[in-house]
Amino acid sequence: MTEQLPLVTVVIASYNHAPYIEQCILSVVQQTYPHIELLVVDDGSTDDSVARIEQLQREHGFELRVQQNKGLTHTLNEAIARAKGSLIAPFGSDDIMVSERIAKQVAYMQDKPEVGICAGNIELIDSDGQLFPEPRQRRDIAFRRLDFDDVFMERKPYPPAPTLLFRKEALEQVGGFDPQIRLEDLLIELKITHAGYYIDCLGEVLAQYRKHDSNSSKNTPFMVESILRTYALFKDHPQYEFVRTRFLSSMFLKCSNRDRDYAKQLLRQIPFRSWNKKTWRGLGRLLFSPLERN
Alpha carbon distance 112, 98 (integer Å): 23
Angle of CA points 17, 19, 24, to nearest 5°: 70
When divided into structural domains, the chain yields a total of 2
Residue 131 placed within a domain: yes
- Enclosing domain of residue 266: 238-288
CATH of the domain at 31: 3.90.550.10
Residue 127 placed within a domain: yes
Angle of CA points 210, 291, 272, to nearest 5°: 95
Does residue 1 carry a pLDDT above 90? no
Rg (CA), the chain: 20
Give the Å distances, CA to CA, from 13 to 17, 66, 116, 128, 155. 10, 10, 22, 21, 30
Alpha carbon distance 168, 174 (integer Å): 10
| pLDDT tens-digit map of 2-37 | 458 999 999 999 999 999 999 999 999 999 999 999
Using the CB atoms, write b or e for 252-264: b if 16+ within 10 Å. bbbbbbebeebbe
Report whether 86 contacts 113 (CB < 8 A): no
Alpha carbon distance 214, 68 (integer Å): 20
Region 121-134 average pLDDT: 86
Residue 6 placed within a domain: yes
Does residue 270 carry a pLDDT above 90? yes
| pLDDT tens-digit map of 176-193 | 999 988 888 999 999 999
Indicate left, alpha or beta for 57 from its phi (over 0: left) and psi (-120 to 50: alpha): alpha
Does residue 280 carry a pLDDT above 70? yes
Please tell me whether residues 204 and 246 are part of one structural domain: no
Residue 215 placed within a domain: no
The pTM (predicted TM-score) of the whole model is: 0.93
Please tell me whether residues 116 and 165 are part of one structural domain: yes
- β-pair partners for 66: 42
Please tell me whether residues 243 and 176 are part of one structural domain: no
Please tell me whether residues 118 and 206 are part of one structural domain: yes
Please tell me whether residues 164 and 264 are part of one structural domain: no
Please tell me whether residues 18 and 138 are part of one structural domain: yes
